[in-house]
């Protein structure tokens, strides 16, 4: 599969760049916001395109042309406030869904947030962010794409263990970003995950087992 | 029809309170956020309930019980910033759609924003607000309700003329809030407006004619 990785410069994104670059099955096109980010990726031998989630759907669709899959792991980050949450985490994300449909991509893996589907379980401190993720996920589910929505628990920077737990609903937990990336990566060709959404935390099963038993 | 008016204390909402209170066809239950607002309405002889758009869907569904129609004309206002835009204008609005479905209400009239369906035509200064309205409208359209989405142009406080122009897409214009309220009111029982969305500005036709010719 040729994968358009949106948010290649993010913390989970960087792990995915590595996984995709070393894959025999998949190839990567990284989508980033700034020319300098694209140059840095190209220097590492990674195909990269510049496109802005705040720009038109058509320019994102152009970036997606020829790809089989979109991975969305972009985010406005915690520092820019709710303006960007609306423009990037919600509208930007939904634009990439529309762009995928326009470009004829039919596989889409979304990195969402733990329990984003259940308002009662949203983290009160970042409730606004949860609103954006919730509706981006709902729009993706309403699309015609073969989506997978991955909702990781508290994100850690420590090295991954490769052992996870995933299900429609889990008790809150945490997970290294590296293991989120591994799960997203392993889900790409796993048809068992098409049209599925799941919470994801550290656990007992290998990523591959966990996805097969979903 | 028994109408749950959400946002009864807003500027368009107040015109709708008057229209509904003086109607022979419809009766009103006003939904407001504060006890004091409910008391003021009750003193005018208007049935009123207190419910919070930031609260659970169930409490809004409770407020909607026994009504045939929901009118949504609430808004966080321009002063509270994008946090409330996410929590009220988007998530709050969608909760009322879910509440209507839960309560067995099947008619819903949404006051949206001019060209909310076309990203290219959003007002750049309040683009965040447009994101919220856009997705609230999309979620309403994806519901099973007999919705009407009214997208007024620039809102004026001058007295209404009763003459409007409405269509799927119009050139930008303005309209008195009183005429928006009249159009919402007249659309309630107008089956021609079910499952329809339209821009609305001042024009040449009476509200009733304009709705019939939609």
B205-B208-B212 Cα angle (round to 5): 95
Write out the catalytic residue numbers of A.
129
Closest residue of A to B142, CA-based? Answer: A142
Distance from CA of A186 to the nearest CA of B (A): 31
Distance from CA of B58 to the nearest CA of A (A): 12
- Residue A12's Cβ-side half-sphere holds a number of Cα atoms within 13 Å equal to 29
Helix (H, G, I), strand (E, B) or coil at B85: helix
Q: Residues 173..192 of A with a Cβ closer than 8 Å to B: which?
A: none
Closest residue of B to A126, CA-based? Answer: B83
CB-CB neighbours of B195 under 10 Å: 11
Percent of chain A exceeding pLDDT 70 equals 100
Write out the catalytic residue numbers of B.
129
Instruction: Report yes or no: B94 at the A interface, CB cutoff 8 Å.
Output: yes
CB-CB neighbours of B177 under 10 Å: 23
CA distance linking residue A46 with residue A19, whole number of Å: 12
CA distance linking residue A66 with residue B181, whole number of Å: 49
CA distance linking residue B100 with residue B5, whole number of Å: 12
- B214, two tokens: 């939609």
CA distance linking residue B40 with residue A3, whole number of Å: 59
Straight-line distance from the first to the last Cα atom of chain A, in angstroms, rounded to the nearest whole number: 22
H helices, E strands: number in chain B: 8, 11
pLDDT in tens, B10-38: 999 999 999 999 999 999 999 999 999 99
Q: Which of B86, B138, B142 is closest, CB to CB, to A128?
A: B86
Instruction: Report yes or no: A68 at the B interface, CB cutoff 8 Å.
Output: no
Q: Which of B81, B91, B134 is closest, CB to CB, to A131?
A: B91
Residue B88 has pLDDT above 90, yes or no: yes
CB spacing of A83 vs B128 below 8 angstroms: yes
B5-9, B28-32, B75-79, range with the lowest pLDDT: B75-79
Q: Is the pTM of this model over 0.80?
A: yes
Q: With contacts defined as CB-CB under 8 Å, which chain A residues touch B57?
A: 119
Distance from CA of A121 to the nearest CA of B (A): 12
Interface test with A, best of B82, B113, B126 (most A CBs within 10 A): B82
- Say which residue the tokens 């889900």 belong to: A187
Instruction: Report yes or no: A83 at the B interface, CB cutoff 8 Å.
Output: yes
Residue A78 has pLDDT above 80, yes or no: no
Q: With contacts defined as CB-CB under 8 Å, which chain B residues touch A56?
A: 119-120
Average of per-residue pLDDT values in chain A = 97
CB spacing of B83 vs A128 below 8 angstroms: yes
Q: Which helix (H) or strand (E) holds B117?
A: none
Confidence grade of residue A3 (pLDDT, cut at 50, 70, 90): very high
CA distance linking residue B179 with residue B156, whole number of Å: 10
pLDDT in tens, B155-194: 999 999 999 999 999 999 999 999 999 999 999 999 999 9
pLDDT in tens, A110-157: 999 999 999 999 999 999 999 999 999 999 999 999 999 999 999 999
CA distance linking residue A169 with residue A212, whole number of Å: 17
- Collect all residues with Cβ–Cβ distance below 8 Å to B199 and sequence separation of at least 6: B114, B115, B151, B152, B153, B166, B167, B168, B169, B170
Q: What is the CA radius of gyration of chain A?
A: 16
- B92, two tokens: 């709050």
Q: How high is the pLDDT of residue A53?
A: 97
Straight-line distance from the first to the last Cα atom of chain B, in angstroms, rounded to the nearest whole number: 22
Q: How high is the pLDDT of residue B40?
A: 97
Closest by Cα among B210, B123, B103, B98 to B163: B210
CB spacing of A86 vs B132 below 8 angstroms: yes
CA B90 to chain centre: 13
Q: Which helix (H) or strand (E) holds B133?
A: helix B127-141
- Say which residue the tokens 């029982």 belong to: B189
Dihedrals phi, psi of B44, to nearest 5 degrees: -90, 5
Residue B78 has pLDDT above 80, yes or no: no
pLDDT in tens, B95-145: 999 999 999 999 999 999 999 999 999 999 999 999 999 999 999 999 999
Residue B79 has pLDDT above 90, yes or no: no
Domains of chain A as residue ranges with CATH: 2-151 (3.40.50.720)
CA distance linking residue A30 with residue B95, whole number of Å: 37
CB spacing of A86 vs B91 below 8 angstroms: no
- Say which residue the tokens 């008790």 belong to: A171
Q: How high is the pLDDT of residue A24?
A: 96
Helix (H, G, I), strand (E, B) or coil at B107: strand
- Residue A135's Cβ-side half-sphere holds a number of Cα atoms within 13 Å equal to 35
- A63, two tokens: 């970036």
Q: How high is the pLDDT of residue B1?
A: 94
Q: With contacts defined as CB-CB under 8 Å, which chain A residues touch B138?
A: 139
CA distance linking residue B50 with residue B70, whole number of Å: 15
């Amino acid at each position: 599969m040729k994968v358009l990785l949106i948010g290649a410069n993010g913390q989970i994104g960087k792990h995915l760049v590595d996984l995709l670059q070393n894959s025999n099955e998949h190839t990567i096109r990284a989508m980033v916001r700034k020319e300098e980010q694209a140059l840095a990726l190209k220097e590492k031998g990674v195909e990269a395109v510049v496109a802005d989630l705040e720009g038109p759907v058509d320019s994102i669709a152009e970036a997606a042309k020829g790809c089989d899959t979109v991975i969305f792991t972009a985010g406005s980050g915690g520092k820019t406030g709710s303006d960007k949450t609306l423009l990037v985490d919600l509208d930007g994300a939904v634009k990439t869904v529309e762009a995928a449909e326009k470009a004829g991509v039919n596989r889409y893996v979304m990195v969402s947030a733990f329990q984003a589907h259940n308002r009662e379980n949203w983290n009160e401190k970042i409730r606004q962010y949860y609103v954006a993720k919730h509706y981006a996920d709902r729009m993706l589910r309403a699309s015609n794409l073969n989506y997978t929505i991955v909702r990781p628990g508290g994100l850690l920077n420590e090295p991954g263990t490769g052992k996870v737990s995933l299900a429609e609903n889990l008790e809150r937990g945490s997970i290294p970003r590296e293991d989120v990336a591994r799960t997203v990566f392993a889900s790409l060709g796993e048809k068992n995950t098409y049209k599925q959404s799941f919470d994801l935390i550290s656990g007992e099963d290998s990523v591959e087992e966990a996805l097969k038993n979903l």
